[in-house]
Structure 1
Amino acid sequence: MTKLEALGPVLGRAGVDALWVSDPAGVRWLSGFSSAEDGKVLVTSQGATLYTDSRYTVQAAEESSLPQHIARPPATYEHAAGTLRGLRVGFEAESLTVAELEDLRVAWPDSTLVPLRGLLGGLRAIKTADEVAAIRAAQALADEVYAEVRPLIRAGVRELDIAAEIETRLRRAGAESAFDLIVASGPNGAKPHGHASARVIEDGDLVTVDMGAKLRGYNSDMTRTVAVGTPSAEMKRVYNAVLEAEEAAVRAIKPGVRAADLDKLARDILTGHGLGEAFAHSLGHGVGLEVHEAPGLRGSSQDVLEAGMVITIEPGAYLPGVGGVRIEDLVLVTEDGYEVLSHAAKEPV
């Protein structure tokens, strides 16, 4: 089944006849156009059309199999007006600006515009074989770069220097950092999203490295926490508790498992170690064209795992003023279980 064939019933359930796709991840998913931030896709019962401007005439023709219309707004909207007359047209409420919505209302006065949320997210959560291969390649590169940089993580080196090495090596390999990577040492490790700073790594620190590669549009995501010298007994205990929770959650992955139950499994283990309140975020998330996408692995999630999903498992424990630990693997849900895609070593502490 093609992506457009899969989308048809979804539009029907949403009560719309057409869909105006403005979110770059959705545009790329449907069209293959890599400059998706400067594109839109219109989906109707007759098919789909990629809209972009003359800067991308050659690129769009090379990358996308969809029919294309090259024009800037308002000509873009006017071109679609006749096709959409009398139809209910869904739009992505989370990505369309108020100004763009006003422009659509002016250009399509005979259409009914319907705000929709998360329409493509569920479809995009199940990866095709090509998408899995792309994510696998991005993670393999991240593993390679991490292995090259790991010996540089030592006392006397700044967090910023480690981050710069990772970013430079990703760039040289033809990729880029999937997000603002995290290198957090010592007490900075208590910040789940603390970015690399000028702090100098000290003997006895735990250092958390959260990194991913973006390669040909697809992302990877993993975290390792490593020891420099000999950490305190308390931080050793925290590390081993987080590792236990992470590995238990990974082992529980299979189709049909509720995402919320995975979160509870890891959280209960950390609670048993007296670290429940130190686990300050959800267990994980889907990864693909976006670093954070469906499914969501949090306690309130209604998502159920299906084969083809690529997810992270990343429990953590954060002690303000002391330090923190996060361990994260990238995992493919298979027909009968799981496959861990991240192969960077998890070092004993």
Structure 2
Amino acid sequence: MLITNPSNRRYITGFTGSAGYALITQNKAIFITDFRYIQQAKTQAPSFEIVQHSGSIVDAVKEQLINFEVHNLGFEKDDVTYSLFKKFEESFSGVKLVPLSQVIESLRIVKDEEEIKLIKKATEIADQAFSHILNVIKPGIKEVDVSLELEFKMRELGAQGASFEIIVASGFRSALPHGIASEKVIETGDFVTIDFGAIYNGYVSDITRTVVVGKASEKQKEIYNIVLEAQLNGVNKIRAGMTGKEADALTRDIIARYGYAEYFGHGTGHGIGLDVHEAPTVSHKGETVLKPGMLVTVEPGIYIPEFGGVRIEDDLLITETGNEILTKSTKDLIIID
């Protein structure tokens, strides 16, 4: 099997650099990279034979296939582009290419103790950064400045950086589920939705909180409390043995009961690990059965165009007896005067 996906490559080899393919046969484990990463690969991937390529990495793979008389080669069809696939076809003469999906991802879905430890540290950093940013948010500050301060604080606390482009969406923009921080100035009366996370030793956290700047209107309180009720129902009841679809219904049904189903258009959550979005899926399409050691988010929301929106998100570790909420930041409605 040829592993090209960066996160899968890291998971299998331990290599944290940005270039290289892993080739695994019945008898050999080979890691192919260029001059820049040879010493790093030898240190981080000691179980692999390290091969340096100076020309095309595809040609280097071809040479190894010939050396080890490989006739069938599995490749990651969800990662390989069409143009790269055509190069494989042209170069790997006599080799049958077998498209594979979610092979390594199925191994990654349940985390071991060390992975859980790293994710817990990433959530701790995010929680500390959220506490800090509450002292920064005020009328007159731009969304992008809040985003910048959040990332700076997370790095100061030991993160490699933000786990994705930080969402800071205020006022009418809070109705955008993925409202990346903009030049908009935060104003009195705004909802401010902040969705962010930290990367710690390759593993991520993902948290969302929504606050109000100034006095909250009755409508804002109503929307917030509905989302909070749905979110609490999810985090209190999600457990091993449920499918992602069943877990999704824990939040979705409450929002629907209040008449806001059309304003909750995304899934309740997703897995986290090396990637900020990975298996399992917690949505109406989620068929995977949750098991102890899986990490999922629970993030229902209501988004009303021209009014604003609310999302509340925690990271959960599925356990033998239920779940452990890793993100600790308060979910009470915070009013920033």
With normalisation by structure 1, the TM-score equals: 0.91
Q: How does 1:134-213 map to 2 (within 5 A)?
A: 134-174=118-158, 175-213=160-198
Q: Which residue of 1 aligns with 2:6?
A: 24
Shift of 1:274: 1.3
Q: For the residues of structure 2 that align with 1:99 and 1:187, how far apart are their CA atoms?
A: 41
1:114 aligns with 2:95: no
Number of residue pairs matched?
A: 330
Shift of 1:83: 5.0
Q: Which residue of 2 aligns with 1:123?
A: 107
**Could you tell me whether the CA contact under 8 Å between 1:86 and 1:112 is conserved in 2?**
no
Secondary structure of the 2:134 match is helix
Shift of 1:34: 0.5
Q: For the residues of structure 2 that align with 1:111 and 1:97, how far apart are their CA atoms?
A: 18
Which letter maps to 2:184? Answer: R
Q: For the residues of structure 1 that align with 2:104 and 2:281, how far apart are their CA atoms?
A: 14
Q: Which residue of 2 aligns with 1:239?
A: 224
Return closer, same or farther for 1:250/1:83 CA change in 2, 3 Å cut-off: farther
Q: For the residues of structure 2 that align with 1:319 and 1:189, how far apart are their CA atoms?
A: 9
Q: For the residues of structure 2 that align with 1:344 and 1:49, how far apart are their CA atoms?
A: 44
1:225 aligns with 2:207: no
Return closer, same or farther for 1:84/1:249 CA change in 2, 3 Å cut-off: farther
Q: For the residues of structure 1 that align with 2:237 and 2:32, how far apart are their CA atoms?
A: 43
Return closer, same or farther for 1:224/1:240 CA change in 2, 3 Å cut-off: same
> Unaligned 5+ residue runs, structure 1?
1-18
Q: How does 1:274-285 map to 2 (within 5 A)?
A: 274-285=259-270
Which letter maps to 1:79? Answer: E
Return closer, same or farther for 1:115/1:204 CA change in 2, 3 Å cut-off: same
Q: How does 1:66-85 map to 2 (within 5 A)?
A: 66-67=47-48, 68-72=50-54, 73-83=57-67, 85=69
Shift of 1:260: 0.2
Q: For the residues of structure 2 that align with 1:131 and 1:268, how far apart are their CA atoms?
A: 32
Residue among 285, 289, 300 paired with 1:315? 300
Residue among 260, 265, 268 paired with 2:250? 265
Shift of 1:102: 2.6
1:65 aligns with 2:46: yes
Which letter maps to 1:85? Answer: E
With 46-55 and 218-227 compared, the bigger mean Cα shift is at 46-55
Secondary structure of the 1:78 match is helix
**Could you tell me whether the CA contact under 8 Å between 2:59 and 2:91 is conserved in 1?**
no
Q: How does 1:83-122 map to 2 (within 5 A)?
A: 83=67, 85=69, 87-122=71-106
Secondary structure of the 1:330 match is strand
Q: For the residues of structure 1 that align with 2:12 and 2:184, how far apart are their CA atoms?
A: 43
Shift of 1:84: 5.2
Secondary structure of the 1:151 match is coil
**Could you tell me whether the CA contact under 8 Å between 1:50 and 1:66 is conserved in 2?**
no
Which letter maps to 1:26? Answer: N
**Could you tell me whether the CA contact under 8 Å between 1:213 and 1:219 is conserved in 2?**
yes
Shift of 1:164: 0.9
* 1:261-281 per-position Cα deviation (integer Å, ceiling 9, x unaligned): 111121110011111111011
Which letter maps to 1:300? Answer: K
Q: For the residues of structure 2 that align with 1:75 and 1:86, how far apart are their CA atoms?
A: 14
Shift of 1:161: 1.2
Q: Which residue of 2 aligns with 1:38?
A: 19
Return closer, same or farther for 1:83/1:295 CA change in 2, 3 Å cut-off: farther
Provide the aligned C-alpha RMSD in A.
Answer: 1.5
Shift of 1:167: 1.4
* 1:286-326 per-position Cα deviation (integer Å, ceiling 9, x unaligned): 00111000001110111110111111000000000000000
Which letter maps to 1:100? Answer: L
With normalisation by structure 2, the TM-score equals: 0.94
With 124-133 and 95-104 compared, the bigger mean Cα shift is at 95-104
> Unaligned 5+ residue runs, structure 2?
none
1:304 aligns with 2:285: no
Percent identity, please. 38
Residue among 180, 200, 221 paired with 1:215? 200
